[in-house]
Structure 1
Amino acid sequence: MDALLTGSGGTRLRWDQLPERIRHEVERRLGDRVVAAHVQHGGFSPAFAGRLRLAGGGRVFVKAGSAADEAHIGTAFRHEARIVAGLPEHAPVPRLRWWFDDGDWVVLAFDEAAGAPPALPWQRTERDRVLAAVADLAATLTPAPDVPVPDLDDEDGAALSGFRRLAAGDPATDPDRRLAAAFPWVAAELDTLAAWEARWPSVAGGDTLLHGDLRADNLLLTDDRVLFVDWPAAVRGVAWFDLVAFLPSLMMQGGGDGAQVLASHPLTAGAEPDALTAGLVAVAGYFVSQSLLPALPRLPRIREFQRAQALPALELLRTRL
């Protein structure tokens, strides 16, 4: 199966490729020597992420990234550490043991979870477990704990304004003017989509802490729990947003009918239909506009992955509009 559809579009650093000083500092903080390291594949970051086995038998999960590799990595890891440190103990998230920042490298150490990402294409039983866990996560994190995250309805962020920026002719959003060829339906309906997207800030507000980037490679299934990992994109907002933002990757990876999930999931059961449509438009606009940007040398397949999520998002929209 294509690596994109399994969420493994990047090449991660190995443990032995980390600077010696970073490996020594990790071992010093762990109080033991690393005797084996298994890279956790999945996602698109070039940073190290892996399970470490220690000489004394202990195990830990470590993430390590350098701003020299990709400028946003250090910022994202610092942000994630502050978020996860503030989550309640009963949240379905591996416990953060410690983290450090030397000004370039940022390293986070978590308890190792005895679980694995869901099998892809999605299996019905695992999909249903995850969908139920998304509802439980929203309940656990409402009201939102006091952690440093932006609000979804904050227009200053403007992260979910892709269609409006395309409609305004923002050259930074479509520098090569590929919209009409890549997404002809979007080009024909752009003004309508931008108008729907303009409603998004008025319905996005809420007091739920949201993961903000749910995909199969950010989930771990244990025998009795679904754990949510990789939290740098967390935001505060309406409780159903994580579900809506998850649907494009779920559909892309064989998870079934997104419209049926929307119609039956407890998080969307009482939502206003127009609010859901505005949320779907905002998510689709993000994936469409991001997929049109120039490729990133260290993340060579990210634009392809964003396009692969844009297509099912647009499929959902066409049935609603």
Structure 2
Amino acid sequence: MARRASAETTDVPADVPADVSADVPAAAGVRVDWWAVPAGVRSQVEASLGSPVETAVTQAGGFSPGVAARVRLVDGRRVFVKAVGPEPNPATPDLHRAEARITAALPATALVPSLLMSLDLEGWVVLVLEDVDGRTPAQPWRLNELQRVLAAAAELSAQLDPSPIEAPTLADRIGEDFRGWRRLAAAFEEGTDDLSWLDPWARRRLARLVDREADWATAAAGRALIHGDLRADNVLLTEDRVMVVDWPWAAVGAAWFDVVAMGPSVIMQGAPDAMSVLDRHLRARGADPEDVTTVLIALTGYFLRKSVEPPPPGLPTLRGFQRAQGEAALEWVRERTGWS
């Protein structure tokens, strides 16, 4: 009989104090233990793997309201299992299906764990991936680890430019979500939100932010395959590699987009001299400064507007994380625009 493992995480290095970044929201949702998955689904997964599960150690990072576990099988093999059912968030199974399609189609040389198999069973979607013996970057960020991740982002975008697979453009993938400033301005005009929660600098420049945001899709256009959700909790550091995980939001766009999208979380999580490091990296990659600022403005509006919506089912911590990212992004916007 398979033995249950108590839920724990190996994501945080032992030399990082437990109270580091206590005021920074964690990229962590509500996980489901492997042993809570319906027995019929677990049996089918084990049959497909050809061995029962011996231990399953839940990993804490990330927002998906499902299973994310490092699994050891009775025959000694190790795999990583992601699984989600129709509850509590009915949109998540489709995200897992998208991740399976995208990951399976990526080149074998990409810095991405291999998909070993995926199953659709009783409303549950299960992904079994290569288990990577690594950890997420330390929090707050260490400069050398941030530089490793930025170098990996550049390498990955070079591997995936032009995109080797069919995927929607960033404009099609994100759509109206990157019209956050426009929606906030409309709510203010309609009297449904007085925006008293918004930074006074942004309130005074709301019309200007709305105007600049309108050009984001043109600024973000490109031919590279973009991860679309790059953050510390979607990165694994090994001794000699950086692996990027969780690909359901992949889209085609500017090769530098992922670094801009990651930037607010890096700033929020206390990376040393974060804005300068990010700006230097983007300049070195030849990203047009005006395009970067335009995309950053749209990203900031997205985070801030989303942060005032009710939390999605099963994702109670998401809005607080988005608010913190939005506030960090706004500081970066102020720095880049120099608007008085």
Instruction: Name the counterpart of 2:75.
Output: 56
Task: Give the distance between the partners of 1:268 and 1:275, measured in 2 at CA.
Answer: 15
Q: Is contact 2:256–2:285 with CA below 8 Å preserved after alignment? A: no
1:159 to 177, 180, 195: 177
Instruction: Name the counterpart of 1:104.
Output: 123
SS at structure 1 position matched to 2:252: strand
Instruction: Name the counterpart of 2:228.
Output: 212
Task: Give the distance between the partners of 1:132 and 1:155, measured in 2 at CA.
Answer: 25
Q: Is contact 1:6–1:120 with CA below 8 Å preserved after alignment? A: no
Instruction: Name the counterpart of 2:295.
Output: 279
The 1:170–1:74 alpha-carbon spacing in structure 2 relative to 1, beyond 3 Å, is farther
Q: Unpaired segments of 5 or more residues in structure 1?
A: none
Task: Give the distance between the partners of 1:224 and 1:276, measured in 2 at CA.
Answer: 30
1:257 to 273, 280, 291: 273
TM-score, normalised on structure 1? 0.93
Instruction: Name the counterpart of 2:54.
Output: 35
Task: Give the distance between the partners of 2:282 and 2:198, measured in 1 at CA.
Answer: 35
Instruction: Name the counterpart of 1:239.
Output: 255
Supply the RMSD in Å over aligned alpha carbons.
2.1
| 1:289 alignment partner AA | R
Q: Is contact 1:206–1:236 with CA below 8 Å preserved after alignment? A: yes
Task: Give the distance between the partners of 2:41 and 2:263, measured in 1 at CA.
Answer: 38
Task: Give the distance between the partners of 2:22 and 2:125, measured in 1 at CA.
Answer: 27
Instruction: Name the counterpart of 2:40.
Output: 21
The 1:4–1:286 alpha-carbon spacing in structure 2 relative to 1, beyond 3 Å, is farther
1:169 maps to 2:187:
yes
Instruction: Name the counterpart of 1:77.
Output: 96
| 2:176 alignment partner AA | A
Moved more, 179-188 or 239-248: 179-188
SS at structure 2 position matched to 1:153: helix
The 1:17–1:4 alpha-carbon spacing in structure 2 relative to 1, beyond 3 Å, is farther
| 2:73 alignment partner AA | L
Aligned-residue offset at 1:259: 2.9
Moved more, 216-225 or 266-275: 266-275
The 1:14–1:266 alpha-carbon spacing in structure 2 relative to 1, beyond 3 Å, is same
Aligned-residue offset at 1:176: 6.0
Task: Give the distance between the partners of 2:164 and 2:305, measured in 1 at CA.
Answer: 31
Moved more, 69-78 or 256-265: 256-265
The 1:141–1:269 alpha-carbon spacing in structure 2 relative to 1, beyond 3 Å, is closer
Task: Give the distance between the partners of 1:211 and 1:51, measured in 2 at CA.
Answer: 22
Identity of aligned residues (%): 45
Q: Is contact 2:296–2:333 with CA below 8 Å preserved after alignment? A: yes
Task: Give the distance between the partners of 1:272 and 1:229, measured in 2 at CA.
Answer: 27
Q: Is contact 1:6–1:42 with CA below 8 Å preserved after alignment? A: no
Aligned-residue offset at 1:11: 2.1
Instruction: Name the counterpart of 2:201.
Output: 185
SS at structure 1 position matched to 2:248: coil
**Equivalent residues, number:** 318
SS at structure 1 position matched to 2:310: coil
Aligned-residue offset at 1:187: 2.2
Task: Give the distance between the partners of 1:307 and 1:117, measured in 2 at CA.
Answer: 22
Q: Is contact 1:144–1:209 with CA below 8 Å preserved after alignment? A: yes
Q: Unpaired segments of 5 or more residues in structure 2?
A: 1-18
The 1:150–1:286 alpha-carbon spacing in structure 2 relative to 1, beyond 3 Å, is same
2:137 to 118, 127, 140: 118
Q: Deviations over 1:92-138 (max 9, x none)?
A: 00000110113611000001111111111111211111111111111
1:248 maps to 2:264:
yes
Instruction: Name the counterpart of 1:199.
Output: 215
| 1:165 alignment partner AA | R
SS at structure 2 position matched to 1:85: helix
| 1:26 alignment partner AA | V
